[in-house]
Amino acid sequence: MSWKSVVKQCRFDCVGTGLFSVANMVFLLVFPVLSIVVSLVMIPTHVDEHVASGLMGGCGGLASAMACMSALGPASSEESAGPSAMRGLIPVSRTAQVVGRYLFLLVVGLLWALDVVICGGVFIVFGDIADMGWIGTLAAGAFIFALAIILGSVLLACAYRFTFRKMMVASGVVLVGLYAVIALLARLPVDWQWLLLNITDFLAIWWHTALVLAVLCLLAYFGSMLIAIRIYRAKEL
């Protein structure tokens, strides 16, 4: 495997999904523009700062979801296009193809995290109306990037093994299972509140949170990549 092949695959996916197309760039600019509009409205009307914080939260949630879905775009296109989707992929080895897809995930995650940081920067320029500061804004961008990498890595590995229909069904089952587990734990005679408070106190220190996210990102990213490489090598094309 050569890094030129990896970069070639990543560039191919960027072009194939229109990541840097005019339409996608306009879509990315929606939230920064909305941040400017909210700022201009809030300053003369003295609206509560929670409005800006809510917009930052909404932007962050959308950014993490869009990063994951964008990372699955190439795999989704291949599944729907069938054999014709192999165009441009034949000269690239299977390992390079997988690593290129994971490099594409990094690019998408960085792009959406930057979008969140720009929104926070707009609020700071207008007097820090979201009450976050540059440190809080950069922390929000880093959190969105980490969340996109963790979730995207898990979904990307599943995309090499299952069809998207099966993945959606499995996601629904997992969500229902999580709600069932939470409901069950709430009924058990265990002081879960004490445990949650300890976890919250541990994560209240910023470098503890950064360390946990970094470890989770590395484990999810490289673990998922190794699994995807093994699955794709064994797959009949």
Tell me whether residue 29 is in a domain: yes
Q: Is the dihedral of CA 171, 208, 222, 8 positive or negative?
A: positive
Note the pLDDT tens digit of each residue in 85-126. Answer: 544 454 567 788 889 999 999 999 999 999 889 988 888 888
Long-range CB contacts for residues 29-36, cutoff 8 Å, separation at least 24: 31/55, 31/59, 31/62, 31/115, 31/116, 31/118, 31/119, 32/115, 32/118, 32/119, 32/122, 35/59, 35/118, 35/119, 35/122, 35/123, 36/122, 36/126
Tell me whether residue 175 is in a domain: no
- The string over 173-191, giving b where at least 16 C-beta atoms fall within 10 Å of a residue's C-beta and e elsewhere, is eeeeeeeeeeeeeeeeeee
Residue 160 has pLDDT above 80, yes or no: yes
Tell me whether residue 76 is in a domain: yes
Predicted pLDDT of residue 91? 53
How many structural domains are present in the chain? 1
Q: Which residues make Cβ contacts (< 8 Å) with residue 147, sequence separation at least 6? A: 64
Tell me whether residue 147 is in a domain: yes
Tokens read off for 214: 């970094």
Tell me whether residue 156 is in a domain: yes
Mean pLDDT of 16-29: 84
- For residues 18, 21, 22, 26, the Cα torsion angle rounded to the nearest 10 degrees is 70
pTM of the model: 0.83
Helix (H) or strand (E) holding 50: helix 50-71
Percent pLDDT > 90 in the chain is: 14
Residue with the two structure tokens 């929000």: 140
Tell me whether residue 144 is in a domain: yes
Predicted pLDDT of residue 82? 58
Tell me whether residue 185 is in a domain: no
Tell me whether residue 159 is in a domain: yes
